[in-house]
Structure 1
Amino acid sequence: MPRGFHSHRKNPDEPWTWEQVLDAAKKINDPANGVFGIDPAQGFGSAGGTAYFKYPIVWQFGGEIMSPDGKTSKGYLDSAQTKKAIQFFSDLYNKDQVSAMEYPPDPFPNGKLGITIDGSWSLANLKEKFPDFKLGVDYDIAPLPKESAQAVANGSWALGISSKSQHSDEAWKFINFVTGHDGQKMYCEMTKDIPSRYSAAKDFPELNEYPKNVFVVQNQKFGRPRPITPIFPQMSDAVNKMFEDVTISKRNIDAAVSDAITTIDQAYADLEKQQKK
């Protein structure tokens, strides 16, 4: 986040609105000198990664991606709220021009980007690679912006047991341990990830104070999983393409959204056909 963030903005319960963020981004923006206001969702890289950063914008505007049962996007992706979110996102690039399609390497610590939206994992990376770019001096951390609601994406690596496993009992014992309090504590001491159990998070002093508490509290109160659906890869690709079509190709929102819904619904229909065979 930009220099000079007010201290109370570090409170996970008091985020800026997207309008306040846009206002700040405009003040920082200086494209003539290669400086941009904000990267709202980690650019346009791999579909899974960058779609992950785009879901919260939809949720923050009160929109949805899919039906709760993960079968369709009709009535969700084409809602007025979802379209408002996509329009706002596209405007950052095209109308307000505070975001760039491409940035030089590491634009945030190198002073070419005022506001970046990233995960807790980026803190260790910044500390290691840019020791002169100091938290609390050169940059601060604030909760994700809100529009009609607060929302953050959660979800990391997952553990599963194959239906063909020859050792399902042992696998279950292992997963039960790793996801329990002691296992989470041991795992997160090694990985520096945020535990999936609140009880384990309480045992890490650094997770209960600024800046890590911003990530922990947001996840506890406003965390949402990505859409739970058997056609997750197809849905993720379709959502990413929709954002790209509207933002990069300046395509009509209604048309882009309609195509995404058709792609997602067709993928689900294809899956059902395969399962009936």
Structure 2
Amino acid sequence: MLKSTGRILLGAVFAGGLMVPHAFAETSLNALFMAQAAYSEADVRAMTEAFTKANPDIKVNLEFVPYEGLHDKTVLAQGSGGGYDVVLFDVIWPAEYATNNVLVDITDKITDEMKSGVLPGAWTTVEYDGKRYGMPWILDTKYLFYNKEILEKAGIKNPPKTWEELSEQAKTIKDKGLLASPIAWSWAQAEAAICDYTTLVSAYGGSFLKDGKPAFQTDGGLEALQYMVDSYKSGLTNPNSKEFLEEDVRKVFENGDAAFALNWTYMYNMANDPKDSKVAGKVGVVPAPGVAGKSEVSAVNGSMGLGVTTASKHPDEAWKYIVYMTSQATQNQYAKLSLPIWASSYDDPAVTKGQEELIAAAKLGLAAMYPRPTTPKYQELSVALQQAIQEALLGQATPEDALKTAAENSGL
């Protein structure tokens, strides 16, 4: 029996050959999504419309907020005793959400088809302590995008395979007067910077935590920040990168003002759209580079999941909506902005056509995805690291001192 939200709709049933009015309750769900990257707002609305058409007894109210507001909106709504039935959550939040009872444990709702069909790496997006708190929805990592035309003009035949090569190629482009600062990053004091930093930590073979304690202030963690600072101080990196989020990086790259940019999957098809981009048809993409002797490629796990909140009064309907949104049919239909979580989708010409280069990069990048630290205190740790990155870039502290302070302020 559906729980009523007080709204009655009139339908009709046949009784003895006559049309007889029939009342049924309509369930109303509130869903919180992100207003940037991956699926566009229009796409989420279109998917939802298709769901409600197939399920006329369920209405879904959509709310979109920037990524930066997603976590706090979710947590504050829980505290007020309701609000959202379905929420989009980042891979870094299940530990906190599970510990604080924000999301429903749906481990027993995962079907055999889901278990065998979804890519193994995708499941890590929604897992904590052996349980699953939703379905993976956006499978994502950051790739190295490059402007083929600029590389060609600089006499560079192949994109870089190591971060050192990236610096060398950027220097060649700068020295030839093609671009003053060839690399664009998302290094604003926000989660975006942590994603770029994590990519480099993975390349250098670093660790965030050892035995629950900070370990990023030495070895690969320190080398990663040192690379960022060197790239910034050398002028190879766009000086505005310290204020850029991913959308800023996309705009700079699409304007032809960057030879290299680290960004999420969604930029590939947007940068190749001649309506909005000056570099359409010139966009190259490869996995983020590695470090000689340490890694072939590097990648951060930037995936996101959809979960049912513990405050939801309609958990069954909320789960039904999530199953639809994450289904292979829905994901394949919208694969130009976010690659599917389903393994067999990558053999489907409808998914791969026109983005073969991206799929080739994804096969390597998605397999190498490195997690940001799994801890219920992730928010404090992230803020401490964001501050450390800014201080080091601005020369207010050495990378060593900045990371040492971050370790002390991490709450761990």
TM category, shorter: 0.7 to 0.9
3-state SS of 2:317 partner = helix
CA separation in 2, counterparts of 1:84 and 1:152?
16
Gaps in structure 2 of 5+ consecutive residues: 1-145
Cα distance, 1:119 vs structure 2: 1.9
Select the residue among 279, 287, 299 that pairs with 1:143.
287
Select the residue among 153, 162, 165 that pairs with 2:312.
165
Deviations 1:64-119 (A, max 9, x none): 2234x8x432xx2123121111111110112x321132179743343432211122
Aligned CA RMSD, in angstroms, stands at 2.9
The answer to whether the 8 Å contact 1:246/1:253 transfers is yes
Q: Is the helix fraction higher in 1 or 2? A: 1
CA separation in 2, counterparts of 1:140 and 1:220?
17
Give the corresponding residue for 1:58: 201
3-state SS of 1:140 partner = strand
Give the corresponding residue for 2:5: none
CA separation in 1, counterparts of 2:324 and 2:255?
42
The answer to whether the 8 Å contact 1:121/1:193 transfers is yes
Give the corresponding residue for 1:23: 168
Bigger radius of gyration = 2
Give the corresponding residue for 2:53: none
CA separation in 1, counterparts of 2:178 and 2:274?
27
Give the corresponding residue for 2:341: 196
| Percent of aligned positions that are identical | 20
Cα distance, 1:201 vs structure 2: 3.5
Q: Which runs of 4+ in 1 moved over 4 A?
A: 30-34, 128-132
Given the superposition, is the C-alpha separation of residues 121 and 80 from structure 1 closer, same or farther in structure 2, using an over 3 Å criterion?
A: same
3-state SS of 1:154 partner = coil
Give the corresponding residue for 2:328: 181
Given the superposition, is the C-alpha separation of residues 201 and 81 from structure 1 closer, same or farther in structure 2, using an over 3 Å criterion?
A: same
The answer to whether the 8 Å contact 2:392/2:398 transfers is yes
Cα distance, 1:129 vs structure 2: 4.6
3-state SS of 1:240 partner = helix
Gaps in structure 1 of 5+ consecutive residues: 10-14, 269-277
Residue identity matched to 2:403: V
Give the corresponding residue for 1:80: 219
Ranked by relative contact order (alpha carbons within 8 Å, sequence separation 6 or more), the top structure is 1
Residue identity matched to 2:226: Q
Residue identity matched to 1:220: L
CA separation in 2, counterparts of 1:132 and 1:207?
24
TM-score normalised per structure 2: 0.54
Cα distance, 1:225 vs structure 2: 3.4
Cα distance, 1:33 vs structure 2: 8.2
Q: Is the strand fraction higher in 1 or 2? A: 2
TM-score normalised per structure 1: 0.77
3-state SS of 1:117 partner = strand
Residue identity matched to 2:329: D
